[in-house]
Amino acid sequence: MVYIGIDLGGTNIAAGVVDENAKLLSQASTPTLAERPYEEIIRDMAACALEAVKKANLTLDDVKAVGVGIPGLADSKEGRVIFCNNLAWHDIPMQEEMQKYIQKPVYIDNDATVAGYAESLAGVSKGCKSSVFITLGTGVGAGIVLDGKPWSGAHGVGSEIGHTTLVANGIPCTCGNNGCLERYCSATAIIQAARQAVMTYPDSAMMKMAGGDPQKINAKIVIDAAKEGDPAAKQVFGHYVEYLAMAINNVTAFLDPEMIVLGGGVSRAGQFLLDAVEGVRPRYLQYKTLPSPRIALAKLGNEAGIIGAALLGRQ
C-alpha cells in the first residue's frame, strides 16, 4: 500500500505518493490561488493527488490514506482545519471535502510538524525516537516527534516555538505578544537587523549585493556577506546565532530530544550556520559535561512536507 501526502502552501499545492518505507514515488504540483473558495482549493488538492497517483502508475486501490500538511492548526480527530492565516481559513471541513474526490481516511497536521516527522522517518533524524525540528523561515515553527510520533499537543496548539517568549517585554510580535522567539530567530529577524545595520555601515558588502537598496537585503545576502568576512554582516549574523543558541538551549533544557534539526530558509547557510551555533552553544548548556541533543541540518527540503503528511496515515 502507498500513502498520498499533500503539502498545502499559501502559493503552491504539492502532492506526492509515498511508500511504506517513506520513499517518495511521484510528485505533482499546482498553484494554490489562495483567494478562492476553500472548496475549489481542496478540489485542486485532490486533483493534484490523483495526478501523482497516476504518475506512480498506481490507482486509488493502492492508496491507504491521504495526509495533509497545512500552514495552520488542525483538528485531526474531526478532520477539520481550525485555521490557516495565509489562506484566511477558519474551521474548514477538509476531510469531508477531500472525501468527495478520494474516499480514503484523511489525516491533517501542521506543516512544520509533518516536516519534522518526515525528517525522523526518512531524513537526518531517522532512527531518533525523539526530535525537535525548527524551521527558520519568515517565522519560526517546530515539529516535535516523541516516541516516534508527531506531537502537536493535547489541544493541537503546541509546537509553536516561535511564539514562546525569549525576551520578556521585547520586540512586539505579530501575535500580539512581545519578545517572541521568532522575532529574534527567523529569517525576518536577520533581514531587519541587516537593514538596520547598513544605516550605520553603508559601505557594507550587503549593500553592494543588494544593489544599493536596503529593501533588497535578504537572509542569503547577510549570510553570504558574513561568509566573506563583511564586519556588519558578521555582527548581524553573530547576534542571530546567539539568540538561536538560546532557543536551542530552551529546547534542550525543557524537552531534551535526541536531536534538534534546523530547517527552513536560514538553514541553507549549511555548515556555516551549524559551526557558528556549535561555537556558542556550550556557553548556554546547563550541563556542559553531559550528553545533550545533537544539532543537525534538515535534509529532505521541500519533499519533507509531502513525505511527513503522507505517513500521518501509517501511524
Q: Which chain residues interact with a second copy by CB under 8 A? A: 73, 82, 128-130, 142, 144, 146-147, 151-161, 163-170, 175-177, 179, 184, 243, 246, 249-250, 252-258, 283-284, 286-287, 290-293
Minimum distance from residue 35 beta carbon to a second copy (Å) = 24
Q: Kindly tell me which of 88 and 175 has the beta carbon lying closer to a second copy.
A: 175
Q: Kindly tell me which of 54 and 288 has the beta carbon lying closer to a second copy.
A: 288
Query: Which element (helix H / strand E) includes 131?
Result: strand 131-136
DSSP for 280-313 reads: HHHHH-SSTTS---EEEE--STTHHHHHHHHGGG
Q: Is 116 in a helix, a strand, or coil?
A: helix
Q: How many CB atoms lie within 10 A of CB 203?
A: 11
- Decide if 104 contacts 66 (C-beta within 8 A): yes
Minimum distance from residue 288 beta carbon to a second copy (Å) = 9
Beta strands across the sheet bearing 63-70: 24-31, 12-19, 2-8, 63-70, 106-110
69 closest CA partner among 153, 10, 137: 10
Q: Which amino acid is at 104?
A: K
Q: Is 222 in a helix, a strand, or coil?
A: helix
Q: Kindly tell me which of 38 and 151 has the beta carbon lying closer to a second copy.
A: 151
- Decide if 4 contacts 16 (C-beta within 8 A): yes
Q: Kindly tell me which of 204 and 252 has the beta carbon lying closer to a second copy.
A: 252
237 closest CA partner among 228, 226, 248: 226
Q: How many CB atoms lie within 10 A of CB 142?
A: 27
Q: Kindly tell me which of 21 and 289 has the beta carbon lying closer to a second copy.
A: 289
Minimum distance from residue 249 beta carbon to a second copy (Å) = 7
- Residue 30 β-bridge partners: 13
CA dist., res. 55 & res. 50, Å (int): 9
Q: Kindly tell me which of 176 and 229 has the beta carbon lying closer to a second copy.
A: 176
Q: Kindly tell me which of 21 and 169 has the beta carbon lying closer to a second copy.
A: 169
Minimum distance from residue 292 beta carbon to a second copy (Å) = 6
Alpha-carbon distance values, 261 to 102, 245, 257 (Å)? 33, 13, 10
Minimum distance from residue 20 beta carbon to a second copy (Å) = 24
CA dist., res. 30 & res. 217, Å (int): 29
Minimum distance from residue 9 beta carbon to a second copy (Å) = 21
Minimum distance from residue 62 beta carbon to a second copy (Å) = 32
CA dist., res. 188 & res. 231, Å (int): 20
Q: Kindly tell me which of 208 and 283 has the beta carbon lying closer to a second copy.
A: 283
Minimum distance from residue 295 beta carbon to a second copy (Å) = 13
